[in-house]
Amino acid sequence: MNTPLRLGIAGLGTVGRGVVTMVQTRADLLATRTGRRIEITAVSARSRHKDRGIDLSAYDWEDDPVALAHRDDVDVVVELIGGSDGPAKALAEAAFANGKDIVTANKAMIAINGQTLAEQAEAAGRVLRFEAAVAGGIPIVKALTEGLAGNKINRVMGVMNGTCNYILTRMEDAKLPYDTVFDEAHQLGYLEADPTLDVGGIDAGHKLAILASIAFGTKPNFEDMILEGIEHITFEDIRRASDMGYRVKLLGVAQMSGRGLEQRMTPCLVPKGSPLGRLENATNMVVVEAEEAGQITLRGAGAGEGPTASAVMSDIIDIARGLRLSTFGQPATTLQEAPAALAPIPAQYYLRLELLDKPGALARIASALGEAGISIDRMRQYGHADATAPVLIVTHKATRDALDHALEAFKQTGVLAGEAVAIRIEQV
Amino acid sequence: MNTPLRLGIAGLGTVGRGVVTMVQTRADLLATRTGRRIEITAVSARSRHKDRGIDLSAYDWEDDPVALAHRDDVDVVVELIGGSDGPAKALAEAAFANGKDIVTANKAMIAINGQTLAEQAEAAGRVLRFEAAVAGGIPIVKALTEGLAGNKINRVMGVMNGTCNYILTRMEDAKLPYDTVFDEAHQLGYLEADPTLDVGGIDAGHKLAILASIAFGTKPNFEDMILEGIEHITFEDIRRASDMGYRVKLLGVAQMSGRGLEQRMTPCLVPKGSPLGRLENATNMVVVEAEEAGQITLRGAGAGEGPTASAVMSDIIDIARGLRLSTFGQPATTLQEAPAALAPIPAQYYLRLELLDKPGALARIASALGEAGISIDRMRQYGHADATAPVLIVTHKATRDALDHALEAFKQTGVLAGEAVAIRIEQV
């Protein structure tokens, strides 16, 4: 048996508790699989005396997480504090400077400061690992960085925020409005302290930026991502989209082409019968379209104590086994700048409009589309008791520019009640 | 840039062609991701002058594959010959003896001789890698050996023979008998030279034995696997199972319990709406039930030139990057003997019988079940124009022993036309 691998753990929330529990309950299995004991030397969190339901008595306590990076009896610092900057980043930098590896679950930090930190880590000969930052228990970072490393990657897609998927599927199943389900999710503890991180698509966007970096060998570029949350999705959208054979998902898509790197985290429609369309509740799914391997889909729990701890442990196990790899699968200094695509690749769009009950109303809308160069794939007007008629249109492929022109022209027709809703249809 | 990694490739069938093509077309990408050039030094196959549609002119030729293991200019031998013994095994042994690593797609060799070869490799300080042996392009070996390595694994399931899944879904979609679809599959080139390897469940069984070894830290034990092919599945079974909400799959299940290691590769019924139930055509799916990570599902192409080559390349890339791991995720000498479970864990069963149209016929069947201690969950008798009536029964959970008793008792009732069909229902 080799020397033990000694951990310093910063952050004892849900994930930290899970990691401590795994180190304790899986000690023998971890020793068998890695050839070393995996031990915790010291821990740090905001409140020392909070009851977390785990036994921390054998570990030293540090009030300042950065102190973990300065301890001679710590080999790996496990950063579970969160936040793109602040103490998390300070801790990572101190760790590399002091010859320690970092394992983190911090998606914001990797998406925003991953390039800087990766360069620091690699210059210091240390590793920066973050399997837990993307899609919880699903080993997608490893699949992309290692399992599919020989492939040219064409597209990466994913539903990677369980809370949003819970809200959307719950709205559909229970026929409830967004606000009601949002409140439910809040009460169930599904939402981050700042719910915009979830429902605004930011959390999922961080994850997508990380996967895009690995897939395309580019510096993480969260800044240029097209980001749109689910706050404006109504039950009506969900129901009508379903009529047309689609489900609404907060879908991340990253795609490299001659146009540059396209990264979107937005509500999209996907066919009901597709694996992504069938994804229920808080489950996550990542779809990788690889040139040689074809379409590879991974599905599992995207959050929670056990799943996230499992991912953190897999990084710790790699380090214990001596499996050391560049942060994003190739040296950080070789990652390319990712020029953002000027506009998304053309797609079909789903449009939902409320038309005033006037003669020629539909004709004006159809003309506006035609003038914008957009042709109609399918159209449906519903019977109605009141003064407006719901109309659904599925267009043929159109540029976002053309669509925006059409949406602007709709407003000039004088036959539209309220705003037209437009949702991209993603071929999956 | 480090020294190149030099490959000797034995076997130039579909997979070999795919690997050569990837080394050629992805040269720069591989160099960026591994920090080394990956080069082919020499190749070997049965027929030197066959046109394979790839340019081999830059590589030395060896008539005897074992010669690759003796070359000083080869670091890794890629074994794509196949077969559990014979030249493949001789090549692997020679490679380890001569300080080379082995990357293979050979499921039979790993399932049957994996323990011996792993011990040889590890004693020699070499690695034996086989991502391509299980489920083609799906990086399941890596997911289980590394990505989920911190977890206690409870159950591994999978549809891992694309040909069988193609046959079963095609029978259902086209309402065709087994023999017709088998002939189709043959003409499409979907079947192994010895089709029993596919439709008899042997090929998929090899894969399951490999996954079980990794999941449970046990020596591969293909010998004790319960194995049953799809040759006896009729369209009638598929249609009637569908009536009851199920689909027929050739499903592998490996499960460790106090009863020992249960490994089955048999036709099973799974709920139509489950991810496994929805799996179409030649696609593969592996489901891992992990204590901490929960249920993780991986889906993708299980065979074919690109997907299998992608898996071979991922092993080569690991070696190029210096990521070296025990064969089954822990030293081969620490793998436990896997005592085979005496009997499968009790399950619900689906029974299909043809009853003679006699008064009291159904009562006799029901009595026989009752006497065997098996209770009925659901039963359906169909209207009929001829002398026998189709009857479907879904039982409550029963042991295989009790079921066999009941099936024996059915024969004594005198009301049965033909044999009763019994298929296990797997909770997925």
Written as one string, the DSSP assignment of B129-153 is E-GGGSSTTS-HHHIIIIITTTSPE
Q: By three-state DSSP, how is residue B234 classified?
A: coil
d(CA B103, CA B312): 7
Instruction: Please report which confidence band the pLDDT of residue A2 belongs to, taking 50, 70 and 90 as the band edges.
Output: confident
Do A167 and A287 share a domain, yes or no?
A: yes
pLDDT at B1 over 70: no
Active-site residue among A89, A100, A142, A207? A207
B83 C-beta neighbours (distance < 10 Å), count: 12
> pLDDT by residue (tens digit) across B362-401?
999 999 999 999 999 999 988 877 888 999 999 999 999 9
- A15, A23, A33: which to substitute to probe chain B, counting the most B Cβ within 10 Å? A33
- A36, A131, A145, A292: which to substitute to probe chain B, counting the most B Cβ within 10 Å? A292
Domain presence at residue B205: yes
Domain presence at residue B208: yes
Give me the residue from B137, B151, B323 closest to A310, CB to CB.
Answer: B151
Do A123 and A235 share a domain, yes or no?
A: no
**Look-up: residue for tokens 């070789």?**
A334
Domain presence at residue A202: yes
Which CATH number characterizes residue B61's domain?
Answer: 3.40.50.720
Percent of chain B, pLDDT > 70?
A: 100
Choose the most confident range, by mean pLDDT, from A188-202, A371-385, B211-225: B211-225
Half-sphere exposure of B139 (CA within 13 A, CB side): 34
Smallest CA-to-CA distance from A366 within A389, A347, A387, A391 is with A391
Which residues in chain B have Cβ-Cβ distances shorter than 8 Å to A35? Answer: 330-331
Half-sphere exposure of A290 (CA within 13 A, CB side): 34
Q: Which residues contact A208 (CB under 8 A, 6 or more apart)?
A: A156, A158, A160, A225, A252, A253, A254, A263, A265
Do A212 and A128 share a domain, yes or no?
A: no
Which residues in chain A have Cβ-Cβ distances shorter than 8 Å to B147? Answer: 131, 139, 142-143, 314
Do A111 and A159 share a domain, yes or no?
A: no
pLDDT at B192 over 90: no
* Average pLDDT rounded to a whole number, residues A316-342: 95
- Residues facing residue B206 across a β-bridge: none
> pLDDT by residue (tens digit) across A187-217?
998 888 899 999 999 999 999 999 999 999 9
Two structure tokens written together for B81: 């010959």
Distance from CA of A317 to the nearest CA of B (A): 7
Based on its alpha-carbon atoms, the radius of gyration of chain B, rounded to whole angstroms, reads: 24
> pLDDT by residue (tens digit) across B133-171?
999 999 999 999 999 999 999 999 999 999 999 999 999
* Average pLDDT rounded to a whole number, residues A311-331: 98
ipTM: 0.95
- B25, B148, B157: which to substitute to probe chain A, counting the most A Cβ within 10 Å? B148
**B142 with A143: Cβ contact below 8 A:** yes
d(CA B368, CA B407): 8
Percent of chain B, pLDDT > 90?
A: 91
- B19, B159, B310: which to substitute to probe chain A, counting the most A Cβ within 10 Å? B310
Query: What beta strand segments (E) does A35-192 contain?
Result: 38-44, 60-62, 76-79, 101-104, 128-129, 153-159
> pLDDT by residue (tens digit) across B403-421?
999 999 999 999 999 899 9
Distance from CA of A68 to the nearest CA of B (A): 23
pLDDT at A144 over 70: yes
Q: Is B157 within 8 Å of B252 (Cβ atoms)?
A: yes
Domain presence at residue B329: no
Residue B142 assigned to a binding site: no
Give me the residue from A32, A138, A149 closest to B317, CB to CB.
Answer: A149
Q: Which domain holds residue B253?
A: 140-302
Which CATH number characterizes residue A415's domain?
Answer: 3.30.70.260
Confidence at residue B233, expressed as pLDDT on a 0 to 100 scale: 95
Which residues in chain A have Cβ-Cβ distances shorter than 8 Å to B293? Answer: 136-137, 300-301, 306-307, 310-311
Residue of B nearest to A333 (CA): B32
* Average pLDDT rounded to a whole number, residues B290-303: 97
Do A289 and A179 share a domain, yes or no?
A: yes
Confidence at residue B2, expressed as pLDDT on a 0 to 100 scale: 85
Q: By three-state DSSP, how is residue B371 classified?
A: helix
Which residues in chain B have Cβ-Cβ distances shorter than 8 Å to A324? Answer: 322-323
Q: By three-state DSSP, how is residue B105 classified?
A: coil
Q: Is A105 within 8 Å of A80 (Cβ atoms)?
A: yes
Do A278 and A357 share a domain, yes or no?
A: no
pLDDT at A46 over 70: yes
**B300 with A299: Cβ contact below 8 A:** no
Based on its alpha-carbon atoms, the radius of gyration of chain A, rounded to whole angstroms, reads: 24
Q: How many contacts (CB atoms, under 8 Å) link A and B?
A: 187
Confidence at residue B193, expressed as pLDDT on a 0 to 100 scale: 86
Do A207 and A271 share a domain, yes or no?
A: yes
Give me the residue from A292, A310, A318 closest to B310, CB to CB.
Answer: A292
d(CA A321, CA B329): 10
Residue of A nearest to B289 (CA): A300
Which CATH number characterizes residue A220's domain?
Answer: 3.30.360.10
Give me the residue from A146, A148, A317 closest to B150, CB to CB.
Answer: A317
Active-site residue among B89, B100, B142, B207? B207
**A301 with B292: Cβ contact below 8 A:** no
Domain count across chain B = 3
Domain presence at residue A336: no
Domain presence at residue B339: no
Helix (H) or strand (E) holding B213: helix B202-216
Two structure tokens written together for A151: 């492939």
B207 is catalytic: yes
**A300 with B318: Cβ contact below 8 A:** no
Give me the residue from B18, B292, B316 closest to A22, CB to CB.
Answer: B292
Do B235 and B286 share a domain, yes or no?
A: yes
Do A241 and A258 share a domain, yes or no?
A: yes
What are the residue ranges of helices labelled H in A257-383?
Answer: 305-320, 361-371
Give me the residue from A30, A34, A293 closest to B307, CB to CB.
Answer: A293
Residue of B nearest to A146 (CA): B314
**A292 with B139: Cβ contact below 8 A:** no
Residue of B nearest to A334 (CA): B32
Smallest CA-to-CA distance from A35 within B251, B211, B101, B333 is with B333
Distance from CA of A333 to the nearest CA of B (A): 11
Residue B119 assigned to a binding site: no
> pLDDT by residue (tens digit) across B238-250?
999 998 899 999 9
Which residues in chain B have Cβ-Cβ distances shorter than 8 Å to A329? Answer: 33
Identity of the amino acid at A338: A
Domain presence at residue A256: yes
pLDDT at A1 over 70: no
Domain presence at residue A126: yes
pLDDT at B342 over 90: no
> pLDDT by residue (tens digit) across B68-121?
999 999 999 999 999 999 999 999 999 999 999 999 999 999 999 999 999 999
**B293 with A300: Cβ contact below 8 A:** yes
Instruction: Please report which confidence band the pLDDT of residue A357 belongs to, taking 50, 70 and 90 as the band edges.
Output: confident
* Average pLDDT rounded to a whole number, residues A289-295: 98
* Average pLDDT rounded to a whole number, residues A42-59: 95
Distance from CA of B346 to the nearest CA of A (A): 27
Do A199 and A60 share a domain, yes or no?
A: no
* Average pLDDT rounded to a whole number, residues B295-324: 97
Per DSSP bridges, beta strands B5-10 and B76-79 are parallel
Smallest CA-to-CA distance from A372 within A419, A413, A416 is with A413
Do B119 and B151 share a domain, yes or no?
A: no
Distance from CA of B90 to the nearest CA of A (A): 28
**A293 with B316: Cβ contact below 8 A:** no
> pLDDT by residue (tens digit) across A60-108?
999 999 999 999 999 999 999 999 999 999 999 999 999 999 999 999 9
Do B235 and B382 share a domain, yes or no?
A: no
Which of B266, B286, B302 terminates a domain? The answer is B302
> Taking all residues of chain B, what is their mean pLDDT, rounded to a whole number?
95
**B293 with A301: Cβ contact below 8 A:** yes
- Residues facing residue B8 across a β-bridge: B42, B77
